[in-house]
A and B are shown apart, each in its own frame.
Chain A
Amino acid sequence: MEREIFGYKCQKCGTLHYPFRMVCKNCRANGYFEFDTVPLPHAGKLLTFTFIHNLPAEFEVARLGLGIVELENGLRVTGQIQIDDPKLGMDVVGAIEVVKRDAYDNRYGFVFRAA
């Protein structure tokens, strides 16, 4: 199965959100099922990044790359990065992969690599 991360598009004003919210940030439309789910694009630019060396208990690695990426449609997401020498503004492309193993569950999310 092809996995995707979804954005949420307001049916009334078309504003796209990520992550999920229940009331539109732009027009405050208030009702059930006001949003269409839209798969997020995978390509974007790296806005900022870090390598974390002191990780929460579940992450048994020496360091973990994280970044904020501005996707092609202008929406921003946080994700893991696997890039040796990242540069601000570089082109990246994300894959949907396991980002965390939580007991018996796999959590999927964006892992960005150099485009």
Chain B
Amino acid sequence: MAVDLEKILRPVDHPYPPYPAKYMTLASGETLVIRQATRDEVPTLLKHVAPLVFVERDYYDLVAARVYAELLGWYHYRMQDEYVLVAQIDGELAAIVNGRSVTGKQGMSLHTLAMRRGLRIGAHAFAAKMEYHIDILGQDEVLVVAESPIGFRRWMIEYQLEERFDTPHELGGVPSYALTKELFDRARSKLVVGRRPVPEDLLAKAHEAILPPSDPPTPPADLLAATRAKYDLTGTALILQRWAQDRSADDA
């Protein structure tokens, strides 16, 4: 009986082709490898995503929490046709991007989570995701939304996305935007970079282990100070601080 119920709960993935790994030189001169992660690597990824759930700035908390859930969903076979790409520098995790296929012709971008900033790693990883949907999977368009103003500005305006407001996005049910093949082709020369095949030693290093990010985003230094700021960009009103206060009240 239990086995039969699992059959109902577990979606059947379609046999989509894998993402061919690529590499590129970053502004720092370091080499970034972008490759598809395997389901076995999810526990390692979760370990590196978890601390970001408590970074109450730039929507890192919300995005990390959702990525955590999506990774778990994939790991426990509760999400259909999901894939995860990782960007690594010398093995170190620099970004995670994920998405899924809605149909054979339509993809859905889920998240872009950058662990190192200032080198456009998020932009490279996002472009790789779009490349996967349009070029490798041969889809016509990818549905995109953004949680953060930074993401909105970058994707919606840089790529000039089309409105698909009749289609609610799986992330919060908000109206979708779409990156079509035509728009992608127009942005391709400017935004999609990388070389293939990845030299064997680089690829081996990337597969060997997903190392922790060396300089990940951290929570605000002084939570109390942050509440006194007039604009709380994240809008989360410092959940952590409230917890801390509640705890001390319980102790008393």
Contact = CB atoms under 8 A, between A and B. Distances in A.
Interface of A: 60-62
5 contacts: A60-B157, A61-B157, A62-B157, A62-B158, A62-B160
Interface string B157-169: 1101000000000
Contacts of A62: 157-158, 160
A50 B122 CA distance: 27
A9 to B, nearest CB: 42
Contacts of B158: 62
Interface of B: 157-158, 160
Contacts of B157: 60-62
Contacts of A61: 157
Nearest to B149: A57
Nearest to A54: B153
A36 B160 CA distance: 45
A62 B186 CA distance: 13
Contacts of B160: 62
Contacts of A60: 157
A60 B158 CA distance: 10
A62 B157 CA distance: 6
A61 B153 CA distance: 10
B218 to A, nearest CB: 26
Nearest to B160: A62
A66 B18 CA distance: 45
Nearest to B157: A62
A62 B158 CA distance: 6
Q: Which 5 residue pairs are nearest across A and B when measured between Cβ atoms? A: A62-B157, A62-B160, A62-B158, A60-B157, A61-B157
Nearest to A55: B157
A62 B160 CA distance: 7
A84 to B, nearest CB: 15
B187 to A, nearest CB: 10
A62 B183 CA distance: 13
Nearest to B158: A62
A60 B157 CA distance: 7
B16 to A, nearest CB: 31
A100 to B, nearest CB: 17
A62 B155 CA distance: 11
A65 to B, nearest CB: 16
A111 B18 CA distance: 49
B112 to A, nearest CB: 19
A61 B157 CA distance: 7
B189 to A, nearest CB: 14
A62 B161 CA distance: 11
A58 to B, nearest CB: 13
A39 B108 CA distance: 54
A65 B157 CA distance: 16
A52 B228 CA distance: 35
A37 to B, nearest CB: 38
A91 to B, nearest CB: 30
Nearest to A59: B157
